[in-house]
Amino acid sequence: MNLLAEEYEYLDPTPDVRSLFQEYDALFFDGLLQGCEIKWSPRMTLCAGLCSFQPATGFCSIRLSQPLLQLRPRSDLVNTLLHEMIHAFLFLHSPMRDHEDHGPQFQYHMHRINNLAQTRITVFHTFHDEVDTYRVHWWKCNGPCQRRPPYFGMVKRAMNRPPGPRDSWWTKHEQECGGTYTKVRDPPLKPRNAHKMERNVAKKVKIGSVERHQPSIAAFFPPHAPQPAQPPVKSMDSMASTDTTAMETPLEPATPLGSAQLCHRSRTAVHPPPTEIQPKDDDVVIIDLTSMSDSD
């Protein structure tokens, strides 16, 4: 059996990974990986493959890097897939808890499959050239570490995430170097993004020119139009305060009057004053002599 035969590169250069997974599971792992998930990852660019396991649920997943493997030979896909399938087998059916390294059990299955299928499974399957191709965001430090090998203060990443406290080495860098990272390289704009940016710029320029030539609505109104006077509106609080002030104003003492005067004032306030009647010649005038004698 030779899974890396040259004719496979021409007969099936881009095989279905799910079909390969089921075939290799039956050949090398007795069909014990049927519950494992296998899928492509369009964003994974640091390594060719990754196997993750959740002990609480027993869920196991294999992800293959689409950017790194889609342009590589078919043999690289086969070796990477078998490498991750060994990890999945140890996760699911090994009593060992530490599955991150490539210890004796991993190397046992690696050599077993290489001898059976003439494959070239290795401990590491990182493609340095392809990884560097996708690291298009570069930062450089202006501190002392820019003169130290092997990185010389350079940080290259596939995504636009600047170095910061989330990196495990950041604390050590702050203590030993203390420099500041500045971005020195960006990926070239794709044609679609470049055309979109040009359209946005042209749209903004057009909108700005229209706004400059469009008449303002203020031209249709006089510059200083008189405002109509509004009558003052009394609020309930001001009215209440006025009533309270009137109630609090002391009243002047009234002049004491007799009962006749009080009655007279009361009548004159309500009724009009009586008209004076002039006596006529025929009228008889009676004079009270008693009152006159008393007054004399």
Catalytic residue positions, numbered: 84
In 3D space, the residue among 278, 277, 296, 279 whose CA is nearest the CA of residue 288 turns out to be: 296
In the sheet that holds 49-54, the strands lie side by side as 37-41, 59-65, 49-54
**Residue 225: which residues within 8 A CB-CB, separation 6 or more?**
none
List of long-range contacts for 249-253, beta carbons under 8 Å, 24+ apart: none
Torsion of CA 124, 126, 129, 130, to 10 degrees: 150
CA distance linking residue 68 with residue 45, whole number of Å:
6
Residue found by looking up tokens 């002039």 in the block = 278
Of 155, 154, 125, 161, the residue nearest 43 (C-alpha): 161
Spatial CA neighbour of 82 closest among 15, 20, 134, 37:
20
Spatial neighbors of 167 by CB under 8 A, at least 6 apart, are none
Please, which residues have CB within 8 angstroms of residue 170's CB and are 6 or more apart in sequence?
163, 164
The tokens for 200 are 């946005």
Record the tokens describing residue 185, joined without a space: 């390289």
